[in-house]
Amino acid sequence: MALIDATYDTDEDFAVHQAVAGNPTEMVEQLQAILAAAVTATEGDISDFKLTGTGSGPQWLAQVVTATTVAVGGIQAPIATSEFVAAVAGNPTEVSAQIRAALTAANADSVYKIEVAGAGDGPSYMAVALYAPHAG
């Protein structure tokens, strides 16, 4: 799995941020903190994010790529107006239903990307969605 689904020029300003968490609340808190820091640092837009399972206990690694410009590809979600939601379940079908419910509860206007990854010894799946909230 590629980390960055985009092409960047060599002189381009981009950064890769990481969050490691064992539950949805912790993951969203860390990802929102990354966005807040990126706004302060004027890092441009979110051009991509990935989610992978890590270790033997349920734990996940999220990587968020920010960039001022992207040559090809990328999702180009505005940092200042984007948010994350996450869900954990025992199988892919259940986690898909839970992330849809989380997006509905968050009043998402549009979804930029959803990532799903398994982790741990037993069946544990996390889904993380990057979305734009409904204005107003």
Residue 75's pLDDT is what?
85
> CB-based contacts of 89: which residues, under 8 Å, 6+ apart?
95, 97, 98, 124, 125, 127
CA distances from 11 to 7, 68, 110 (A): 12, 11, 31
| Residue that the structure tokens 């790529």 belong to | 65
Give the C-alpha separation, 19 to 14, whole Å: 17
At 103, list the tokens. Answer: 């997006």
User: What is the residue extent of each domain of the chain?
Assistant: 6-133
Helix (H, G, I), strand (E, B) or coil at 40: helix
Can you list the residues of the chain whose pLDDT is less than 70?
A: 1-12, 70-72, 122, 136
Provide the pLDDT for residue 84. Answer: 98
Tokens of 54: 């890590």
Q: What is the pLDDT of residue 101?
A: 98
**Residue carrying the six token digits 């799995």:** 1
Tell me the pTM. Answer: 0.89
